[in-house]
Amino acid sequence: FTVAKQPFSLHGNNAIYSLSYNNHFTQFVSTGHDKRTFLYDVVKQDVLWSETGSCPVLSSSYSPVRDHFVVGDNEGAIRLFDATDATKIKIKSTFKSLGSKIWQAEYFPCGGLFVASGTVKGTSVFDVVSGRIANCDKGCNIYASTIINRAVVAHAPDASPHRIKLFDIRGGNSSCLALYGHSNTLWSLQASASGNEILSGGCDGTVMIHDLRTGKPTLTIAASPLDVRRAIFAGDKQQYVVTGARDFTVKIWDTLFGSLHLAHTIGQSGYEFPYCMTYSSNQLYCGTLSGDLYSLRW
């Protein structure tokens, strides 16, 4: 790793809850406990825009097809921003979910829909143009979710610590699939580019790649003695997995054998552990609950 000499801070000493790159990988959105949302320019290494809301902002997602992004907050509101002109960012729409605390927000690949989930007793899919809920699946609190094609994959620990729920937005059908191998709650889910596998990480300190058809793991990595807060695919062919864990480490593993390539410790105590990450090429930004934002290259 090549790490910036010092971490920088956008949110003071407040927790950073989400980071999300734009589709050009030149800017990213950062949200935090201080109720603020920032748009940061990676090239200029400077803040382009910021806004202060009425409550902590927990999640964000940048559109894969246009200069729009959504943020979800602690009171269940989701706001869609138009960032076509980075100097004049404005709210395009405001959505209301089924409840509160939007822990996850993610655009579908088409860019016309996005999913919001959290402690909302379910998952909602919103139409970007109309602002209406295109579909919803009422159920348990959701702490980790991802998207495969036109289906939402969500983990509801209230129902079972080892299961995910697949919700098809086209037909409204849902089914449960056991993810074999984990022994506790999952904090992170990400679908592979092919849509055939899913990456998971959680409280038991393990990271697994599962065959989505069977739920069985094809790769298991003992990533940390403490819980893994975030696990993401990396590399142009997703040949790596990056993990952030409560032992204050960021690590890179290969997906063929699960061997450790690189490791870096970014904190020492308290809330200095990696909580959220966004990745592009060989550049990784990592935010902590203590408010530090790290820039790492390899």
CA dist., res. 166 & res. 184, Å (int): 19
As given in the structure block, the two tokens for residue 281 are: 């090429």
DSSP class of 75 = T
CA dist., res. 145 & res. 82, Å (int): 24
Give pLDDT tens digits along the chain (298 positions).
Answer: 676 656 888 999 999 999 999 988 999 999 999 999 999 999 899 999 999 999 999 999 999 999 999 999 998 889 999 999 988 899 998 987 666 788 889 999 888 888 888 775 667 888 888 877 777 766 667 778 888 877 788 776 665 656 787 777 776 677 777 788 888 888 999 999 888 999 999 899 999 999 988 889 999 999 999 999 999 999 888 999 999 999 999 999 999 999 999 999 988 899 999 999 999 877 899 999 999 999 988 7
Under a CB-based contact definition with an 8 Å cutoff, are residues 22 and 67 in contact?
yes
Please report, as a single letter, which amino acid is at residue 255: T
CA dist., res. 119 & res. 140, Å (int): 8
CA dist., res. 218 & res. 211, Å (int): 7
SS3 177: strand
Please report, as a single letter, which amino acid is at residue 233: F
Task: Look at residues 164, 227, 229 and name the one whose alpha carbon lies nearest to residue 198.
Answer: 164
